[in-house]
Amino acid sequence: MTSRLQQHLDHVRRHITIARDRALALLHPSPAEREHGESLHRDAVVVDAYGFTACSIPARLEEEVQEAVQAGATQNKIQRLVHRLMVTGVVTDEGSRAEFEAAVAASGVTSWCKTRGRGATSTSPWSECPFSPTFAMNFRT
């Protein structure tokens, strides 16, 4: 993994810690309340349909994008390449999978649902589709 990617991952981990610390500072839970809340969260099915999306950066992302740029790939082809690598990286890249699993574990989210369609603000290839595909990810086995 390049140092730039490692810096990004460290940055993401710091933000997860900062967000958790800010929430705890606002809530001021006692140790018993915190344990009770974490226990409820652990034992519940937590579905996020709003903002959470775990992602990770595959080790070969930077290298493959550089190769595509040098080969003269269009911006659209590069975006599709990045999208494909980000989607498949959690399956094909051990480090990417570990980072993905760490983000999911830190979130406490059991699953999430996303809808994308025409007019979506995403750079995903789905944003140009005339229909709104919905997908759900389930992390608890």
Report pLDDT digits (tens) over 8-22: 778 878 888 898 899
β-pair type (134-138, 47-48): unpaired
What average pLDDT does the segment 71-78 reach?
A: 94
The model's pTM is 0.56
What average pLDDT does the segment 45-73 reach?
A: 83
Distance between alpha carbon 1 and the CA centroid of its chain, in Å?
A: 18
Question: In this model, does residue 129 exceed pLDDT 50?
Answer: no
Q: For 15-82, give the DSSP string.
A: HHHHHHHHHHHHH---HHHHHHHHHHHHHS--EE-SS-------TTHHHHHHHHHHTT--HHHHHHHH
Q: What pLDDT score does 130 carry?
A: 40
Question: In this model, does residue 118 exceed pLDDT 60?
Answer: no
CA neighbours closer than 13 Å in the CB half-sphere of residue 47? 7
